[in-house]
Homo-oligomer: A and B are copies of this chain.
Amino acid sequence: MSQNSSRAVGRHFLHIPGPTPLPDRILRAMDTPIIDHRGPELQKLAKRVLEGIKTIFKTSHPVIIYTATGTGAWEAALVNTLSPGDKVLMVETGQFATLWKNMAVKLGLNPEFIPTDWRIGADPAVIEEHLRKDKAHEIKAVCVLHNETATGCLSPIAAIRKAIDAAGHPALFLVDTISSLASTDYRHDEWGVDVTVGGAQKGLMLPPGMSFNALSEKALAASKSSQLTKSFWSWDDMLNMNKIGFFPYTPATQMLHGLATAIDMLHEEGLDNVFARHDRLAEATRRAVRAWGLEIMCRDAKYYSPTVTAVMLPEGHDADAFRNLALDSYNISYGASFGRYAGKYFRIGHLGDINEAMLLGGLSVTEMALALGGIPHKKGGAQAAMDYLVSAAASPSRAAAE
């Protein structure tokens, strides 16, 4: 603890569910003199990242790169494909789904919002049911968060695609992968997603300030007739300029340097290794939480998130006070709680460029902060995480199994 000191000692343990810890290699790639954003060096860089980012979304279609955080890419996905008054089907998986729904309202869309208790992901059967009822095909888009960052619930995108198809519904399929991309498997083309929204500051290990729209042929066709007003977010200008390796307005050149390096790093590790590592660390975290005798917010194992675990505190204990105590005592940050659960839980992010020692350091001081804070719990959470990780290392083939 550093309470008698005017400086926080040692490395900060950033366990918010994004932005994630910046690898030094990415910081160095960005710590570079500015280059002419209309010169040959930028052009070469742009072509490299515009191709490279496709391999992360697993798409052969164009990916738009915005100089804006994920919220901007949410707006882009809607305004490029829809028209005022269009009905969109959304699922209330949690706070971020709610924000996207609120945005749809602001933009003049008409969202139909499937409720949940915020403790599961989007259920394909429920979506299918809603679509089947929509005989007139008034629903123009189904909008789902792959990973609800606010609750730690992952939704089954491939199964939702199948549900849409089973309903025989022509709606566009828009998916937010901000806190799942480059951390768990995602297949834009194979899963028939029309617009995938992504962000830089999570699995891509970059600072905030860049976001993405991965497109489909169907999305591009929809953009031709879309009537929502748009200028900055317009795909068409972007697509035209990107073809020759430029951007319609000054891009965030430092971020592009970082993105090129991030894509390299992901492929050096191997995407499947990246995904397995996230699965392993997520399971270790859940084992710690269970050993503490605390409740995982996601109440159905099939929706467990590989990137963030929300932990509920016992009734009468303030999660925000706990977070502050942990920050002051052990230089660790967690994600906050939202909405009807405000103050009732905290979120442990375990995504990005993170390894076993980083996670176990974080879980250990979490356990210590529970003790310091007088939160009723059992010891042995970090130990349970270690035991699992040793067994996973010893038997790699079952590493991600629970």
A contacts, CB < 8 Å to B: 1-2, 4-7, 9-14, 16, 18-22, 24, 27-28, 30-40, 66-72, 74-75, 79, 84, 103, 106-108, 201, 207-209, 228-232, 234, 248-255, 265, 268-270, 273, 277, 327, 329-333, 336, 353-362, 364-365, 367-368, 371-372, 379-380, 382-383, 386-387, 389-390, 393-394, 396
Smallest CB-CB separation from A360: which chain B residue? B364
Asked if A358 meets B356 with Cβ closer than 8 Å, knowing A30-B31, A268-B6, the reply is: no
Query: Contact at B38–A14, with CB atoms within 8 Å?
Result: no
With CB as the reference atom, state the residue of chain B lying closest to A6. B268
Q: Are B382 and A368 in contact, with the CB atoms below 8 A?
A: no
B contact residues around A273 at 8 Å (CB): 2, 4-5
* Residues of chain B contacted by A255 (CB below 8 angstroms): 209
Measured in the bound complex, the distance between the Cα atoms of B393 and A372 in whole Å is: 8
Which B residues touch A331, using CB under 8 A?
355, 357
Please state if A250 and B31 are interface contacts (CB–CB under 8 Å): no
What's the Cα separation between A90 and B386 when bound, in Å?
A: 45
* A393 adjacent to B1 (CB under 8 Å): yes
Q: How far is the CB of A167 from chain B (nearest CB, A)?
A: 29
Given A249-B70, A393-B1, A106–B229 Cβ distance below 8 Å?
A: yes
User: What residue in chain B is nearest A353 (Cβ atoms)?
Assistant: B10
Q: Are B254 and A209 in contact (CB under 8 A)?
A: yes
A251 x B208 contact (CB < 8 A): yes
A280 to chain B minimum Cβ distance, whole angstroms, is 9
